[in-house]
Amino acid sequence: MTVNGHPAATLASPEIVLDESKLQPGSNRIEITAKGSGRLYYSVAATHYSNQARLEKEATISLNILRDYYRLTPAKTGERIVYKLSSLDGAVSQGDVLAVRLTVTGSDWKYLLMEDPIPAGAEFIEKDNLYEIQDRPPWWRYWFTRRELHDDRMAIFQTHFSNEQQQYFYLLKVVNPGLFHLSPARVQPMYQPSHQATTEARTSGAKRFMEKLPRTICAANTAPATGAL
């Protein structure tokens, strides 16, 4: 295999990853040659990252998403521990529990997917139903069809969304100190990728020590190219 006329790799393994040192700005030419009999099948995909703000706060009347953060403060009521919700303002500390609320508004949609990247210094609290909330707000409900807790993001699925406003929540726990960038949350119909709405990006700090992380706003995957030799 050659890239821009220069040898890059041999097809000794089923997957080859090219780092940016082998690529040039703009277009690149990848050539794959095969020897001997038989057919060689291949696919090519590219992933790129951008630090431009052009994909932040995208929305239309037909589809929009907002993101809010709340701090959970424990309080004792008799023998029970309950939690008070307050809007997050300022830095957080290790051990803090945060509620993330996603508000989606729009027209009629089917198979909506909401994805919210989480900061590197936090992890999910899976059993959020164990947290008793004092003066529980009306949005503290489980409206989704399905949700998945990935290592780096929350994914929420809604099969039917009807011309309304819907709110979703999940819990995070701050486990590492530092200064972390929060990439935008996004919502889109799973089978209509041309429609998308995103929130703004923001930065969150956890006390004890500060470490500036690279700012990453969006990641996009190109449609894979496939073929056979």
Structure tokens at 164: 């309304």
Q: Mean pLDDT across the chain, nearest whole number?
A: 81
Q: Phi and psi (nearest 5°) for 222? A: -75, 160
Per-residue confidence band for 67, with pLDDT thresholds at 50, 70 and 90: very high
Domain 60-219 CATH class label = mainly beta
Per-residue confidence band for 11, with pLDDT thresholds at 50, 70 and 90: low
Q: Is the pTM of this model over 0.75?
A: no
Those residues with Cβ within 8 angstroms of residue 169's Cβ, 6 or more apart along the chain or in another chain? 99, 100, 101, 102, 128, 139, 140
pLDDT digits (tens, 9 = 90+) for 178-223: 888 888 999 999 998 788 899 887 665 555 433 333 333 233 333 4
β-bridge mates for residue 73, sequence order: 84
Q: Please state, in angstroms and rounded to a whole number, the distance separating the CA atoms of residues 140 and 131.
A: 11
Q: Please state, in angstroms and rounded to a whole number, the distance separating the CA atoms of residues 97 and 136.
A: 16
In the chain, what are the domain boundaries? 2-52+222-228, 60-219
pLDDT digits (tens, 9 = 90+) for 18-56: 877 888 888 888 888 888 888 878 887 777 665 555 445
Q: Please state, in angstroms and rounded to a whole number, the distance separating the CA atoms of residues 224 and 44.
A: 5
